[in-house]
């Protein structure tokens, strides 16, 4: 799971704590997607109420993207503009869709995906947890099964703003899981990355973590893994 909070860490920490706790409280026969949606909805309710409780918390919100792997099936729940990918052979699949102003322009055909990648308003969110009482929550399962040598990537916009999907795929193909996260972050920083960058990688194996110059780097294979948030610009959110 990856979350990225606006203005404060309060919303993102609440999202991580509530979702990870409430998901595992749900009955096993409830269905993964339904249980994820319930956990996300409860987190949104609590964050929204907290944001209204004190001036200090006014306007806070957070993105959140979570994956659950059962056997070979990858389930997801998603709010905001963090992304989940699956790298499979010579291809990379973006599992989630950004909840942003420019993604809406892409969906209506007003701009292309290539134009969206460099659009000046690409970081304006149209949906974030804690900003409204009723939340759009995308849930589903990846169209492809997670098989041998396939990798999962969850990341914040601080990464994909500087690395294309094709570049992410090539790094995942060429670098071992142990080195890929650090290599991605180094590349993003070299290209001017200034936001906190969160990277979660999953494959069958072990776990390691480190932090570089305030940029959170997580190399992970056991889901769910909770990562720190990064502050977004205060104007990068619209209702």
- Quick one: average pLDDT of 181-203? 91
Model pTM score: 0.83
Whole-number mean pLDDT of the chain? 85
pLDDT digits (tens, 9 = 90+) for 13-49: 999 999 999 999 988 777 999 999 999 999 999 999 9
**In the prediction, which pLDDT does 26 show?**
86
Does residue 239 have a pLDDT over 50?
no
Architecture of domain 2-219: 4-Layer Sandwich (3.60)
The residues that bridge with 79 in the sheet, in sequence order, are 64
pLDDT: which is higher, 68 or 177 = 68
Q: Identify whether the C-beta of residue 103 lies closer than 8 Å to the C-beta of residue 82.
A: no
The pLDDT-based confidence of 177 (bands split at 50, 70, 90) is confident
Q: Percent of the chain beyond pLDDT 70?
A: 84
Tell me the backbone φ, ψ of residue 201, rounded to 5 degrees. -115, 140
- Residues 6 and 234: their CA atoms lie apart, in Å, by 6
pLDDT digits (tens, 9 = 90+) for 115-145: 999 999 998 999 999 999 999 999 999 999 9
pLDDT digits (tens, 9 = 90+) for 204-220: 543 333 333 334 443 33
């Amino acid at each position: 799971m990856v979350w990225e909070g606006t203005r404060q860490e309060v919303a993102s920490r609440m999202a991580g704590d509530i979702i990870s706790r409430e998901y595992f409280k749900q009955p096993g026969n409830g269905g993964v997607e339904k249980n994820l949606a319930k956990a996300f909805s409860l987190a949104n309710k609590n964050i929204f109420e907290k944001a209204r409780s004190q001036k200090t918390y006014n306007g806070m919100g957070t993105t959140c993207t979570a994956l659950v792997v059962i056997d070979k099936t990858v389930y997801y729940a998603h709010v905001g503009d963090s992304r989940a990918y699956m790298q499979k052979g010579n291809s990379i699949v973006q599992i989630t869709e950004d909840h942003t102003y420019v993604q809406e322009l892409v969906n209506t055909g007003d701009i292309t995906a290539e134009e969206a990648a460099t659009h000046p308003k690409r970081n304006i969110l149209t949906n974030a947890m804690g900003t409204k009482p009723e939340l759009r929550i995308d849930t589903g399962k990846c169209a492809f099964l997670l098989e041998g040598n396939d990798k999962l990537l969850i990341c914040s916009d601080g990464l994909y703003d500087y690395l294309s999907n094709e570049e992410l795929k090539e790094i995942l193909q060429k670098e071992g899981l142990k080195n890929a996260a650090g290599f991605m972050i180094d590349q993003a920083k070299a290209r001017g990355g200034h936001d906190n960058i969160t990277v979660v990688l999953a494959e069958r194996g072990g776990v390691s973590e480190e932090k570089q110059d305030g940029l959170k780097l997580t190399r992970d294979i056991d889901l769910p893994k909770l990562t720190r948030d990064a502050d977004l610009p205060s104007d990068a959110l619209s209702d």
